[in-house]
């Protein structure tokens, strides 16, 4: 390992994101007519991913399903026809599942981990909206700013769709009647995203070049009145832990719905007083370049899914880093219960050279 | 069945004084096929354990030995007798058809049957209580044996049935009398007339089985049965009305109508014989038992039964061709292209539990899903098959596939290019199976042409025959693999050499051509089709041609016309015109009306029918001589199992043999004098010295 990456020297093993696939995000009406179940969606992105990466069923060490509700990972393993020796886990959020996978790989317990997140209903936005309005007032963010940001985000998403950038990791869904669904729908309530994570050994087994390398992750819990502050806390903690400044990060994927919350987040980083008192920083974090933030849009255009969003953002960011040959990015998700997780990812050539 | 093959549940089996482990070794007893031992309470346990087979067959040797066993029991009477099978697969699959093949006259058959009936009677007359404990397949003679016991217990995986009708027979060991006596006679007759098996629950409800219980719950039930505590329902109220002659006569009327609709009684006499037997003697079971012997002996010497038994063995042979090593099972296929055959294969493979990546268009994936929905047995299987299907337009699946299925419809250049690019990521031992006809032009595209084979489904149904065409450099191991794949799909593999039209279409082409020529000469299409149907063919030649597609027929005829070895006649103008006009049917509605105006007779003359049949026989002999298929038996099996030739006639070459080669060659010579060289007898005919009057119409029966 070279000196450039000495900040991650504490991590005993590298974790790579080999590849990922997601289903189109589907709205309630389509979900009704097509009759997809949670596992149907999970399977339809998981199986092609295993096929694409040529992973034989017995090679996979563990399967982590991120989904709300009762445990469904056993039937999923059966339907994916994985070996009975595959370890099974289930948690409720996408990035938590990724963090768990990273942990397993770093500890040496696993070489290949399949993370699948799947949702059948959208996240309730009410508590987040209330919190976003309260924080917006603190940092003097106007509703007009938020709607302008939302509009711009939708435009970015539209451009990415037109340019075929979104479709690179998106599969075509087939329902049991044989009808196809291959485009993201607005106001989505359901979707699934599969990510294949590997250790260096796993990577060598599969003989593939990875999409990205996963670095450190942090977790934060916001005060219960202000659940939307969680991403702010988590990403600040990540920057401070890794001694990084905003300039070191080339791209960001931050939760953007509601837009008021994201704008408050950006304003807070520029607010010396807030940074000093609440984040215990001597200097304000600074101004984040809007061109590096959510460059292909996000949940404002697609809709918010509690389990799937984190994985989708991670995949989107990894893809965009690779395409633009950029070195570092941070992805952060947000949950209605005031938790957030931030994850640093980097271009694999950059660090393993 | 699946439950029984699980090694853990095998150990659970209730075997009385026997242990599971000793059954793994050959019996150390006086008898080869039976094991007899008494437990501590003097209950005799008799295990049926056929020495030379994985499934019990009631062969002559086993029957003789059973006689000895019963004699030894009579000398020292046990407290009770329990009969079971030592095989995991089931109680008994019925009589050994190999024995039936050797019976060549009625007197011998009657003698053997009388012996068997006496034996059954001895079992019934045994003064101690007798109990049959059944599991798995309990068919034909096996069920008849169980019917001779006082009580029958069974495990839930038991299937009881009397499938004799499928080989042109009816039960011959007393079931025609004992079954209607035990259960609802209408159900009994239905079982015997259709040959369908009952599940354990159904059979229990019908009263055929006294109790159904899982293996580990059998012991207390056996205790109860032997102590006379088992509740038996022997009041067969439904049989009462059928003791009256007129009731049976009425019921037989309906049965005749149904059976006649399924199979022509002139061609398949067994159903009629069974109904007749029951109608006349159903009121007197003893007389019925007696008459059954003579009726069975007559049937077993009928050509229909002989041919159907032969077909059973031929089918068995094809199935054995598909058998392969468990470790070599194919588990993943990759389909390219959008052809219907490819989609069919993909759907069958997914249903058979293979993983399938579909590299065609999204439409072909949808078609595949539709096909699976149509074919799936139940919801669970449908779900499993759909899960096994992955849409893979970027052909990632090629790297993992055991076989690459080429269902492309593009022109040869594109097909070759596509195969060439994909072969680079294909594993070295993987197969390339193509629906292209012929496959030879694709050889150049592959670095390793030894793995390339051609495929064709004989019909779109499940369990259909699949022709596997090997070209001159196909590897033997690849052929074995391909046959195994076809077996995994539940189809029958037919290895043929890769020639235009493979085997089936090649053999049938002259027949279709002759039918078209007759049509052109002015014979009515109805008459042509009727002649074929009357012969027993499931489909007439014109209907087959339309099923294949007229343009395909024309292309095939032209290619066969271009062959050097005994080429086919010029394709008829009627076909050319139809293809040029883009029609899908030879029967032009306008022309048809014009023809009926001339009021032609609806039947073909004997000469015309001979032309049809002989063109088919001649071409079958030709294909056999050219070595398209390994032997004559295989050719017969192929044409019958593909549903082109009537099963009761045993296949074209068998039919030719039985008609007499000399007579056919004579007739062919006459026809070729009148109609031209297309009827010239093929050099493959071997004039066997037989007495058939020359010149007489050959389509009798």
Q: What is the pLDDT of residues A50-87, one digit of tens each?
A: 999 999 888 899 999 999 888 899 999 999 999 889 99
Contacting residues of B for A172, CB less than 8 Å apart: 362, 391
Please check whether residue B70 touches A, CB under 8 A: no
Q: Which of the four pLDDT bands, split at 50, 70 and 90, describes residue B5?
A: low
Query: Exposed, middle or buried by CB within 10 Å (0-12, 13-18, 19+), for B466?
Result: buried
Answer yes or no: is pLDDT of B474 > 80.
Answer: yes
Q: Would the CB atoms of A47 and B400 count as touching at under 8 Å?
A: no
Average pLDDT over residues A233-247: 92
pLDDT for residue B479 = 92
Q: Is the Cβ pair B366, A52 closer than 8 Å?
A: no
CB contact under 8 A, A48 and B396: yes
Residues 6+ apart with CB under 8 A from B166: B195, B308, B312
Q: How far is B207 from chain A (nearest CA, A)?
A: 39
Burial B428-449 (b: 16+ CB within 10 A, else e): eebbbbbbbbbbbebbebbeeb
- Spatial contact of A300 and A257, defined as CB atoms under 8 Å apart: yes
d(CA A323, CA B114): 86
A132 CA to centre of own chain: 21
- CA angle, residues B332, B335, B339, in degrees to nearest 5: 145
Label residue B688 by pLDDT band (50, 70, 90): low
The verdict on B366 touching A (C-beta cutoff 8 Å) is: yes
pLDDT at A297: 85
Neighbours of B509 (CB within 10 A): 25
Residues above pLDDT 90, as percent of chain B: 59
- Looking at 3.40.720.10, 3.10.20.600, 3.40.80.10, 3.40.50.720, the CATH number of the domain B334-497 comes to 3.40.50.720
Chain B residue with minimum CA distance to A76? B387
Show residues of chain B in contact with A48, CB under 8 Å.
390-392, 396
Are the CB atoms for A128 and A204 separated by under 8 Å? no
Q: Which of A51, A54, A176 sits opposite B390 (nearest CB)?
A: A51
Average pLDDT rounded to a whole number, residues A99-107: 94
A6-10, A159-163, B665-669, B674-678: the lowest-pLDDT one: A6-10
How far apart CA B231 and CA A10 sit, in angstroms, is 76
Nearest to B101 by CA among B311, B289, B292, B271: B311
Residue B696 has pLDDT above 70, yes or no: no
Condensed to tens digits (0 to 9), the pLDDT of residues B16-54 reads 899 888 888 887 778 999 999 999 999 999 999 998 888
Kindly state the percentage of chain B with pLDDT values over 70: 95
Bridge partner residues of B384 (DSSP)? none
ipTM of the complex: 0.88
CATH of domain A126-166+215-347: 3.40.47.10
Identify the three-state secondary structure at position B56.
coil
Secondary-structure breakdown of chain A: helix, strand, coil percentages, each rounded to the nearest 5: 45, 20, 35
* Kind and range of the H or E run holding A195: strand A188-198
Boundaries of every domain in chain A: 12-122+168-206, 126-166+215-347
Q: What whole-number percentage of chain A has pLDDT above 90?
A: 61
| CB contacts, 8 Å: B394 with chain A | 52
Predicted confidence at residue B232, as pLDDT, reads 85
| Domains A12-122+168-206 and A126-166+215-347 agree in fold | yes
A48 touches chain B (CB under 8 A): yes
pLDDT digits (tens, 9 = 90+) for A168-192: 899 999 998 889 998 888 888 999 9
Cβ separation of B397 and A51 shorter than 8 Å?
A: yes
pLDDT at position A257 is 82
State the pLDDT at residue B464.
85
- Interface check for A180 against chain B (CB to CB < 8 A): the answer is yes
Q: What are phi and psi of A293, to 5 degrees?
A: -105, 125
Residue of B668, B656, B637, B692 whose CA lies nearest to B309: B637
Residues constituting chain A: 353
Residues 133-172 of A with CB under 8 A from B: 171-172
Q: How confident is the model at residue A349 (pLDDT cuts 50, 70, 90)?
A: low
Q: Which of A42, A43, A51 to mutate to test the interface with B (most CBs of B within 10 A)?
A: A51
Judged by a CB distance cut-off of 8 A, whether residue A178 touches chain B is yes
* pLDDT at site A6: 40
pLDDT at res. B100: 87
Lowest mean pLDDT: which of A100-109, B7-16, B381-390? B7-16
pLDDT band per the 50, 70, 90 thresholds, residue B594: very low
The CATH number given to B2-301 is 3.90.226.10
A207 vs B: CB within 8 A: no
For the domain covering A12-122+168-206, report its CATH number: 3.40.47.10
pLDDT tens, residue by residue, B325-360: 777 889 999 999 999 899 999 999 999 999 999 998
- Work out the minimum CA distance from A18 to partner chain B, whole angstroms: 15
Q: What is the mean pLDDT of chain B?
A: 88
**Given pLDDT bands bounded at 50, 70 and 90, which one contains residue B701?**
very low
Mean pLDDT over residues B513-529, rounded?
88
Is the CB of residue A174 less than 8 Å away from at least one CB of chain B?
A: yes
pLDDT tier for residue B687 given thresholds of 50, 70 and 90: low
Q: What does the domain layout of chain B look like in residue ranges?
A: 2-301, 334-497, 504-679
Q: Chain B residue closest to A47 (CA)?
A: B390
CA-to-CA distance for B563 and B161, rounded, in angstroms?
Answer: 50
Q: What is d(CA B323, CA B325) in angstroms, rounded to the nearest whole number?
A: 7
With contact defined as beta carbons under 8 Å apart, do B663 and B690 qualify? yes
Instruction: Round to whole Å and give the CA distance between A337 and A317.
Output: 24
Query: Could you tell me which CATH number the domain at B504-679 has?
Result: 1.10.1040.50
pLDDT of amino acid B521: 87
Instruction: Evaluate whether B407 touches B399 at the Cβ level (below 8 Å).
Output: no
In this complex, how many residue pairs, one in chain A and one in chain B, have their CB atoms less than 8 Å apart? Answer: 53
pLDDT attached to residue B237:
87
- Contact of B352 with chain A, judged by CB distance below 8 Å, is answered with no
Q: What is the mean pLDDT of residues B197-203?
A: 94
**Is pLDDT at B695 greater than 80 in this prediction?**
no
Least confident of A9-13, B136-140, B208-212: A9-13
């Amino acid at each position: 390992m070279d000196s450039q990456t000495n900040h991650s020297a504490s991590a005993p093993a590298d974790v790579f994101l080999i590849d990922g696939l997601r289903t189109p995000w589907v709205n309630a009406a389509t979900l009704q007519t097509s009759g997809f179940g949670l596992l149907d969606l999970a399977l339809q992105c998981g199986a092609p991913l295993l096929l694409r990466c040529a992973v034989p069923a017995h090679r996979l060490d563990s399967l982590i399903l991120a989904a709300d509700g009762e445990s469904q990972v056993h039937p999923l393993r059966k339907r994916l026809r994985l070996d009975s020796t595959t370890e099974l886990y289930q948690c409720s959020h996408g990035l938590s599942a990724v963090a768990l996978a990273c942990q397993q790989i770093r500890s040496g317990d696993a070489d290949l981990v399949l993370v699948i997140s799947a949702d059948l209903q959208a996240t309730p936005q009410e508590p987040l909206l209330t919190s976003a309005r309260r924080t917006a007032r603190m940092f003097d963010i106007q509703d007009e700013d938020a709607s302008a940001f939302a509009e711009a985000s939708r435009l970015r998403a539209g451009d990415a769709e037109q340019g075929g950038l979104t479709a690179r990791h998106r599969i075509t869904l087939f329902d049991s009647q044989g009808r196809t669904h291959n485009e993201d729908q607005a106001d989505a309530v359901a979707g699934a995203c599969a990510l294949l994570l590997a250790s260096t050994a796993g990577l060598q087994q599969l003989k593939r070049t990875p999409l990205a390398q996963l670095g450190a992750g942090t977790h934060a819990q916001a005060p219960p009145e202000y659940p939307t502050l969680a991403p702010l806390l988590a990403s600040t903690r990540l920057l401070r832990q890794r001694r990084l400044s905003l300039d070191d990060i080339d791209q960001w994927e931050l939760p953007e719905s509601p837009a008021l919350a994201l704008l408050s987040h950006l304003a807070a980083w520029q607010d010396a007083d807030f940074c000093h008192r609440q984040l215990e920083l001597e200097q304000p974090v600074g101004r984040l370049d809007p061109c590096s933030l959510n460059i292909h849009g996000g949940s404002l255009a697609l809709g918010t899914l509690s389990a799937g969003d984190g994985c989708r953002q991670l995949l989107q960011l990894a893809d965009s880093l690779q395409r633009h040959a950029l070195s570092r990015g941070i992805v952060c998700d947000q949950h209605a219960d005031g938790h957030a997780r931030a994850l640093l990812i980097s271009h694999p050539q950059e660090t393993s050279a | 069945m699946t439950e029984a093959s699980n090694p853990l549940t095998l150990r659970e089996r209730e075997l009385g004084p026997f242990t599971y482990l000793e059954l793994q070794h050959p019996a150390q007893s006086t008898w080869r096929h039976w094991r007899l031992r008494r437990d501590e309470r003097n209950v005799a346990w008799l295990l049926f354990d056929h020495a030379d087979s994985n499934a019990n067959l009631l062969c002559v040797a086993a029957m003789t030995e059973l006689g000895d066993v019963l004699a030894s029991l009579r000398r020292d009477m046990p407290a009770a007798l329990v009969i079971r099978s030592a095989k995991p697969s089931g109680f008994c699959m019925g009589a050994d058809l190999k024995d039936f093949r050797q019976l060549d006259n009625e007197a011998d058959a009657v003698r053997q049957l009388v012996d068997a009936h006496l034996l059954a009677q001895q079992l019934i007359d045994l003064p101690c209580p007798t109990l049959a404990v059944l599991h798995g397949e309990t068919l034909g003679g096996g069920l008849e044996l169980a019917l001779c016991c006082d009580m029958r217990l069974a495990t839930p995986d038991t299937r009881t049935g009397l499938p004799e009708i499928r080989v042109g027979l009816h039960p011959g060991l007393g079931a025609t009398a004992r079954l209607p006596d035990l259960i609802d006679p209408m159900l009994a007759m239905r079982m015997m007339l259709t040959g369908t098996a009952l599940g354990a629950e159904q059979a229990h409800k019908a009263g055929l089985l006294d109790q159904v219980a899982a293996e580990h719950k059998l012991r207390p039930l056996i205790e109860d049965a032997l102590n006379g505590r088992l509740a038996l329902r022997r009041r067969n109220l439904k049989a009462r009305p059928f003791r009256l002659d007129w009731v049976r006569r009425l019921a037989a009327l309906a049965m005749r109508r149904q059976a006649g609709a399924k199979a022509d009684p002139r061609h398949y006499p067994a159903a009629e014989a069974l109904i007749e037997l029951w109608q006349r003697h159903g009121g007197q079971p003893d007389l019925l038992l007696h008459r059954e012997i003579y009726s069975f002996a007559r049937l077993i010497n009928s050509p229909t039964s002989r041919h159907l038994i032969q077909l059973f063995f031929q089918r068995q042979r094809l199935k054995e061709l598909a058998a392969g090593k468990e470790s070599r099972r194919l588990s993943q296929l990759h389909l390219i292209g959008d052809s219907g055959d490819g989609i069919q294969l993909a759907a069958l493979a997914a249903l058979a539990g293979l993983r399938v990546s579909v590299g065609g268009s999204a439409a072909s994936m949808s078609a595949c899903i539709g096909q699976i929905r149509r074919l799936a047995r139940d919801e669970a299987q449908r779900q499993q098959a759909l899960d096994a299907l992955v849409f893979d337009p970027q052909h990632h699946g090629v790297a993992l596939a055991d076989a690459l299925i080429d269902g492309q419809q593009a022109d040869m250049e594109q097909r070759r290019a596509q195969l060439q690019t994909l072969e680079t990521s294909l594993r070295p031992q993987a197969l390339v199976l193509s629906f292209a006809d012929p496959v030879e032009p694709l050889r150049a595209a592959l670095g390793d042409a030894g793995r390339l084979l051609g495929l064709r489904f004989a019909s779109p149904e499940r369990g259909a025959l699949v022709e596997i065409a090997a070209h001159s450099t196909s590897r033997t191991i690849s052929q074995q693999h391909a046959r195994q794949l076809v077996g995994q799909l539940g189809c029958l593999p037919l290895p043929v050499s890769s020639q235009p039209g493979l085997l089936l279409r090649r053999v049938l082409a002259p027949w279709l051509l002759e039918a078209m020529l007759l049509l052109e000469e002015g014979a009515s299409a109805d008459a042509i089709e009727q002649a074929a149907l009357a012969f027993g063919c499931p489909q007439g030649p014109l209907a087959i041609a339309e099923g294949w597609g007229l343009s395909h027929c024309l292309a095939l005829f032209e290619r066969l016309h271009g062959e050097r070895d005994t080429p086919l006649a010029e394709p008829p103008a009627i076909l050319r015109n139809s293809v040029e006009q883009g029609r899908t049917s030879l029967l032009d509605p306008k022309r048809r009306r014009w023809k009926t105006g001339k009021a032609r007779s609806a039947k073909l003359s004997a000469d015309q029918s001979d032309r049809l049949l002989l063109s088919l026989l001649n071409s079958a002999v030709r294909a056999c001589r050219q070595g398209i298929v390994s032997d004559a038996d295989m050719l017969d099996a192929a044409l019958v199992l593909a549903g082109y030739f009537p099963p009761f006639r045993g296949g074209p070459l068998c039919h030719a043999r039985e008609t007499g080669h000399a007579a056919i060659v004579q007739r062919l010579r006459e026809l070729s004098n009148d109609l031209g060289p297309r009827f010239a007898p093929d050099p493959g005919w071997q004039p066997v010295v037989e007495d058939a009057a020359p010149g007489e119409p050959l389509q009798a029966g």
